[in-house]
Amino acid sequence: MNAKLQVLVIDDDAVVGRSFDRVLSDKGYEVSTALSGEEALETLENSKFDVVFTDIKMPGMNGLEVTERIKARSPLTPVVVITGYGTQDNEIKASGLGASGFVRKPLTPEMIENITLKAVNDAESANDAVVQPVDSTEAEVASDVTVTKQVNSTAKNIGLFFASPFIALGYVIALPFVGFYMFIKLGREAFIKKHMSE
């Protein structure tokens, strides 16, 4: 890694921040720490981070509020929630706020390294998922096809409008003949049945 990836750890226990620094500094990361949500948001005003870790239970603003504020400002910044008070309810809330992960303390060096790497890779994948622009020729062809369909549809509707009186007249003229034919056919069938039964 040429430039060090920036990691922010938010926890009112300074030991947690030092643990992250000790594990990640040799792996190409630069770790900054904040002891509260308010301090973290001030730090985020002036710096951009590749990954943010936040504890849930802190004095003042809790980790879920911090996650919500960070994601509102910078939706693509991965935020991982760490806690010693892990509950399924908190995990669901964190996920709903857009957290990239939810891990429970105590954290081992391997866990710290793995969740950081996963968060960075997930963020890179999200950033790479850019919609390719449509070729202008394809757009023009699609536009021409749409216009042609509209013209054909309009012509068809106009044709039906003018043809409908003649179609109706045809039905009016044909109806007595059809009725007369059906009358003769039914009468013939009744006559044949009557004579066959005798």
Tens-binned pLDDT, residue by residue, of the chain (198 aa): 457 899 999 999 999 999 999 999 989 899 999 999 999 999 999 999 999 999 999 999 999 999 999 999 999 999 999 988 767 888 888 889 999 888 988 899 999 999 999 999 988 887 776 444 445 555 555 556 555 656 566 666 666 566 666 666 665 676 676 666 677 877 777 777 777 666
- Tokens 């009016």 locate to 172
Backbone angles phi, psi at 11, to 5 degrees: -160, 135
Query: Could you tell me the fold of the domain covering 5-128?
Result: Rossmann fold (3.40.50)
Nearest to 58 by CA among 50, 45, 67: 67
Q: What is the pTM of this model?
A: 0.62
| Inter-residue contact 67 to 44 (CB < 8 Å) | no
Please give the single-letter amino acid code of residue 160.
L
Query: Bridge partners of 30?
Result: 6
* Torsional class of 24: left (φ above 0), alpha (ψ -120 to 50), beta (otherwise): alpha
Backbone angles phi, psi at 99, to 5 degrees: -65, 140
The string of DSSP letters for 97-143 reads TT-SEEEESSPPHHHHHHHHHHHHHHHHHHHH-PPPPPPHHHHHHHH
Residues 6+ positions from 33 with CB-CB distance below 8 Å: 8, 9, 10, 11, 14, 17, 18, 20, 21
73 is written with which tokens?
A: 């400002």
On the question of a cis peptide bond just before residue 106, with omega within 30 degrees of 0, the verdict is yes
| Inter-residue contact 51 to 8 (CB < 8 Å) | yes
